[in-house]
Chains A and B, each alone.
Chain A
């Protein structure tokens, strides 16, 4: 056992990050395909919708409450349409599910399966595990969002969306931040309890409550204060596709996610694992 100095010391530079990212490659590809399919489904429909007066009639015939809930009030512009359908609805749904799933599995699921115990018995620190896995989450979310940016920008011309690419980029950043916040909270939930299901619950709480508070706040002035509690509203309430991203919202999402990650590291440091 006298460890000779001639031993092969080849080590991956960021082993935890590398494995966290590599293990999720297939899933990442799957989510990417899902998002791309949604984009290709919604956006090419836009020219056929604005051209016809029937569509506007249909929208007008819907109850105001429903339109506000679905955020379809700006749907007659390409930017509003893209925000309402891709970012605000199907994209948000898909990506928050993906991000929450990644976040919850990262520590809670890993502990539940007994593998975290083995990882922590090796030459790593708990803080390092949290930081590297959080970094993998950030990268995954950003990669999917980058894909969304590219696809929407590609369809901008053919689908006559008339989107300002700068605002699109800002909206993508906001969107990624919102989704990342949900995933980070899921990671924290998993780290606190050692159970994946609590992580999913915590992450879904942020996503669902954010969505519901936004929808309720849209209904009447009396409920508008709910917007302040809705991360969803922070992202989309000011129509970033036409007005750009509010810096405060970006700060809330990215700063908040980092803060949640830091709390996660502190929590995991204190806990007994696998009990």
Chain B
């Protein structure tokens, strides 16, 4: 993670908040009884951007979002949402926000259309026909009673509910959970359109590819702390590429020596193989982090018969951040940020 711009503490933006920030969270902590769900979360979401937060279950994503909407109250710290302090903010602020909760439970005989009408009644004005447009995009039947909808269709209803009044800010907790891949793409398109229209999107996910496609910036949250805030591009640069190559005219030991010198090369395995044509060859597999130019130079003089350099796997690098070794290996009882999340994790010291 050497190339990732590590969030310094406090966040550089904290002292002089940019006035155009859609969300400005400053040192939010939240304690539920004996468990500390958030340990001082600080971040800034610029207006008109898509900001993703990723982290394992129980990292505090849902708690952070609920705090922004005043559904729960931070133990300390504060958040400014669309220029208003989120604590005890009036209904006028929430009309300008579209919210999709993480555990969306919709019940009852009421039809999807009537339920959406109800939410339209208690939120910002909804453009005539907009609900139908959105429902059509997601192939959602609004005449069905809500309780008869599948999980995916309930999720679509939740998405329509969040987007229908074209709010300035969208706060979406695990928005694509339960959606099939086609609908996930449709959702990502919707997010892109929202950004193009000047809306701000704050979304969480534990699926990195989704954040990768949708977000401008990513915060990685673990155990109630933001480990990193980085652009997707910066994250991608730290990502490792999987490498597989075959060359003739070089012995495994020589190849191993030549590649082993390179920075970012890891897990290098070189072995003798027989090429399909029957010639002796050497195959190497490894992972490569960082710049690829030195690698290309190192192999340029070789007689390559095969070379596969895969696209960087963001997931792998983020997972590495989830479980990165501790600066101080201090065993720590897991913070339980959401009802569902349990498990034990090591606590990471705040990056200096």
- A positions within 8 Å CB-CB of B: 1-4, 7-9, 11-12, 15-16, 18-19, 23, 26, 113-115, 117-125, 128, 272-275
Q: Which A residues are in CB contact (< 8 Å) with B73?
A: 272
Q: Report if B91 contacts A (CB, 8 A).
A: yes
Cβ-closest chain B residue relative to A14: B121
The reply to whether B104 and A272 contact each other, CB–CB distance below 8 Å, is no
Q: Which A residues are in CB contact (< 8 Å) with B109?
A: 26
CB distance from A31 to the nearest CB of B (A): 17
- B positions within 8 Å CB-CB of A: 32, 66, 69-73, 90-92, 94-95, 97, 99, 101, 103-110, 118-128, 158, 161, 166-168, 194, 197-199, 339
CB distance from B47 to the nearest CB of A (A): 11
Q: Which B residues are in CB contact (< 8 Å) with A121?
A: 69, 71, 94, 97, 99, 101
Interface of B is mostly: loop
The reply to whether A114 and B94 contact each other, CB–CB distance below 8 Å, is no
A111 to B104, CA, bound (A): 12
The reply to whether B108 and A23 contact each other, CB–CB distance below 8 Å, is yes
The reply to whether A123 and B122 contact each other, CB–CB distance below 8 Å, is yes
CB distance from B186 to the nearest CB of A (A): 19
Other-chain residue from A9, A18, A113, A128 in contact with B107 (beta carbon distance below 8 A): A113
The reply to whether A7 and B126 contact each other, CB–CB distance below 8 Å, is yes
Q: List 19 A-B contacts (CB under 8 A).
A: A7-B128, A8-B125, A8-B126, A9-B125, A11-B125, A15-B118, A15-B122, A19-B118, A23-B108, A23-B110, A115-B107, A117-B101, A122-B95, A122-B99, A122-B122, A272-B73, A273-B71, A273-B72, A274-B101
Q: Which A residues are in CB contact (< 8 Å) with B101?
A: 114, 117-118, 121, 274
The reply to whether B103 and A125 contact each other, CB–CB distance below 8 Å, is no
The reply to whether B72 and A275 contact each other, CB–CB distance below 8 Å, is yes
Q: Which A residues are in CB contact (< 8 Å) with B128?
A: 7-8
Q: Which B residues are in CB contact (< 8 Å) with A117?
A: 66, 71, 101
A8 to B66, CA, bound (A): 29
The reply to whether A1 and B99 contact each other, CB–CB distance below 8 Å, is no
A4 to B125, CA, bound (A): 10
Other-chain residue from B122, B161, B166 in contact with A1 (beta carbon distance below 8 A): B166
* Total inter-chain residue pairs, C-beta < 8 Å: 99
The reply to whether B121 and A12 contact each other, CB–CB distance below 8 Å, is yes
The reply to whether B125 and A114 contact each other, CB–CB distance below 8 Å, is no
Q: Which B residues are in CB contact (< 8 Å) with A23?
A: 108, 110
The reply to whether A1 and B121 contact each other, CB–CB distance below 8 Å, is no
Known: A3-B124, A23-B110. A122 touches B119 (CB 8 A): yes
The reply to whether A118 and B104 contact each other, CB–CB distance below 8 Å, is yes
Q: Which B residues are in CB contact (< 8 Å) with A9?
A: 125
The reply to whether B94 and A123 contact each other, CB–CB distance below 8 Å, is yes
A256 to B252, CA, bound (A): 87
Q: Which B residues are in CB contact (< 8 Å) with A16?
A: 122
Cβ-closest chain A residue relative to B161: A118
Cβ-closest chain A residue relative to B119: A122
A23 to B101, CA, bound (A): 22
CB distance from B73 to the nearest CB of A (A): 6
Q: Which B residues are in CB contact (< 8 Å) with A11?
A: 120-121, 125
Cβ-closest chain A residue relative to B105: A114
A119 to B72, CA, bound (A): 14
The reply to whether B103 and A114 contact each other, CB–CB distance below 8 Å, is yes
